[in-house]
């Protein structure tokens, strides 16, 4: 009976590895299309700003030493499945050896999946459904490993073999250390911008990973519009931001752009354009994700009529959980607007045409999520994770613009 249970557990592990390999293959395909088509490609699991495989797979964390993580996953699941198959077909000490090796592979998968899940959930703050499928497969393999050890140590050949809870725990610990080392070597640079970066070659040498990742993004003819400009007109770099005032990622990006404008007041201007994920003013989104986004956008434009657009989006982003209609006049009053004029503007829907115009402009650029940035036309879907990355991007674009004017 014990041998049959062990055989069934190993079969379950094989089937889980097949599932993991299939999902890894799908992720590899999505990754290849993102690399080939850039932001012109949208996968089937790009749901919104919080559930978005494309955001995860286009991030710097999606590759290890320049190789897509999905390729490693495909190889790992294939190898683990092969070892479990050999273990199922073998007997005695040979079976124990293959089980021990497959346990080491499962421990490695567990450590790396934990790392990638932490990056997705806590750094990128985005759920990748395909990646989550792999996390579930790995948890299933963990259960198979633990239950297989339980069955193996009940057999005469298993008791003194390498198949034990202690050895599996050691494999998990060593795998965690190895993954920590890989993560440290592969982690995007965080810090301050060196002061002696005078050429594109200097920038590339200072952070080659970011330089290659950033410059691989396509440059498009993005519509800037004439409204809601923050920063000097003569700045060498223009960032056009399509944003949603109820979007959490947009709030974080807004804070980073404000910091960028403070650090580099002469180098950058930001043009804000609306792309609310709300069908009431954005006909292309299909369904409403942020129910207060359109009215919040109207509020910002009504404030713009009084010359207070920047102050209004600051307070709207700061009060994202309270964007219901009744609270908008209170927020307008807090920044010193003429509340009667503001209410009249809101009641008349005076600024809706501008918001619809922005949304349609975003639609023509095939925007599907927020924030989407155009840095001198270079399309970045999502935001950078670190302030210094914005500085690097501005420096790269400034040097490219200077190079172009001299050429």
Q: What local confidence, expressed as pLDDT, does residue 159 receive?
A: 46
> Helices then strands (H, E): number in the chain?
16, 7
Given a cut of 80, whether residue 188 has pLDDT beyond it is: no
Which tops the pLDDT comparison, 405 or 124? 124
What CA–CA distance (Å, rounded) separates 358 from 78? 47
pLDDT in tens, 387-402: 889 999 999 999 998 8
pLDDT, tens digit, 9 for 90 and up, residues 346-385:
999 999 999 999 999 999 998 888 899 999 999 998 888 7
Sign of CA dihedral 23, 27, 32, 37: positive
Domains and CATH numbers, the chain: 2-186 (1.20.1440.130), 200-406 (3.40.30.10)
Mean pLDDT of all residues in 1-5: 78
**Nearby residues of 312 by Cβ (< 8 Å), 6 or more positions away:** 299, 300, 303, 304, 331, 332, 335, 337
Which among 244, 172, 273 is positioned nearest to 252, based on CA atoms? 244
pLDDT at 195: 73
What does the pLDDT look like over 174-185, one tens digit per residue?
999 999 998 888
CB atoms within 10 A of CB 129: 16
Confidence of residue 406 (pLDDT cuts 50, 70, 90): low
32 close to 62: Cβ distance less than 8 angstroms: no
| Residue 137 confidence (pLDDT) above 50 | yes
129-152 and 69-89 are packed helices; what angle lies between their axes, rounded to 10 degrees? 30
Find the range with the poorest average confidence among 2-6, 292-296, 319-323: 2-6
Provide mean pLDDT across the span 120-126: 86
pLDDT of residue 54: 81
Percent of the chain with pLDDT over 90: 62
Other residues' Cβ atoms within 10 Å of the Cβ of residue 309:
19
DSSP string, 129-174: HHHHHHHHHHHHHHHHHHHHHHHHTTSHHHHTSS-SHHHHHHHHHH
What is the pLDDT at residue 369?
84
Per DSSP (E only), the strands in 149-267 are 229-230, 237-243
What value does the mean pLDDT take over residues 193-206?
Answer: 83
pLDDT in tens, 28-64: 999 888 777 655 567 888 776 678 888 888 887 888 8
Q: How much is the pLDDT for 128? A: 92
Alpha carbon distance 399, 116 (integer Å): 34
Mean pLDDT of 288-296: 93
């Amino acid at each position: 009976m014990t041998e049959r249970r062990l055989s069934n557990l190993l079969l379950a592990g094989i089937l889980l590895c097949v599932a993991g390999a299939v999902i890894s293959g799908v992720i590899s395909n999505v990754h290849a299309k993102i690399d080939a088509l850039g932001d012109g490609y949208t996968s089937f699991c790009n749901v919104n700003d919080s559930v978005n495989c494309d955001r995860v797979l286009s991030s710097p964390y999606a590759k290890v030493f320049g190789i897509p993580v999905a390729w490693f996953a495909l190889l790992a699941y294939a190898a683990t499945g092969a070892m479990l198959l050999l273990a199922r077909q073998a007997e005695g000490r040979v079976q124990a050896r293959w089980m021990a090796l497959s346990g080491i592979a499962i421990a490695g998968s567990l450590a790396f999946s934990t790392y990638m899940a932490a990056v997705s959930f806590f750094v990128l703050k985005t759920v990748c459904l395909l990646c989550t499928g792999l996390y579930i497969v790995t948890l299933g393999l963990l259960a198979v490993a633990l239950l297989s050890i339980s069955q193996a140590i009940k057999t005469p050949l298993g008791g003194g073999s390498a198949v034990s809870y202690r050895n599996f725990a050691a494999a998990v610990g060593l795998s965690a250390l190895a993954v920590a080392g890989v993560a440290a070597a592969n982690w995007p640079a965080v810090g301050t911008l060196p002061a002696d970066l005078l050429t594109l070659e200097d920038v590339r040498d200072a952070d080659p990973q970011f330089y290659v990742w950033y410059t691989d993004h396509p440059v498009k003819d993005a519509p800037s519009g004439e409204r809601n400009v923050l920063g000097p007109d003569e700045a060498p770099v223009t960032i056009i931001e399509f944003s949603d005032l109820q979007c959490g990622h947009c709030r974080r990006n807004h804070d980073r752009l404000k910091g960028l404008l403070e650090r580099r007041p002469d180098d950058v201007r930001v043009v804000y354009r609306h792309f609310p994920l709300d069908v009431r003013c954005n006909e292309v989104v299909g369904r409403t994700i942020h129910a207060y986004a359109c009215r919040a956008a109207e509020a910002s434009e009504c404030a713009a009529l009084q010359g207070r657009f920047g102050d209004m989006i600051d307070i709207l982003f700061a009060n994202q959980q309270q964007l219901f209609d009744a609270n908008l006049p209170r927020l307008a009053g807090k920044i010193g607007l003429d509340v009667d004029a503001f209410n009249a503007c809101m009641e008349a829907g005076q600024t809706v045409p501008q918001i619809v115009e922005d949304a349609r402009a975003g639609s023509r650029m095939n925007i599907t999520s927020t924030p989407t940035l155009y840095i001198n036309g270079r399309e970045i879907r999502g935001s950078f994770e670190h302030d210094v990355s914005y500085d690097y991007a501005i420096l790269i674009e400034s040097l490219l613009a200077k190079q172009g004017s001299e050429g």
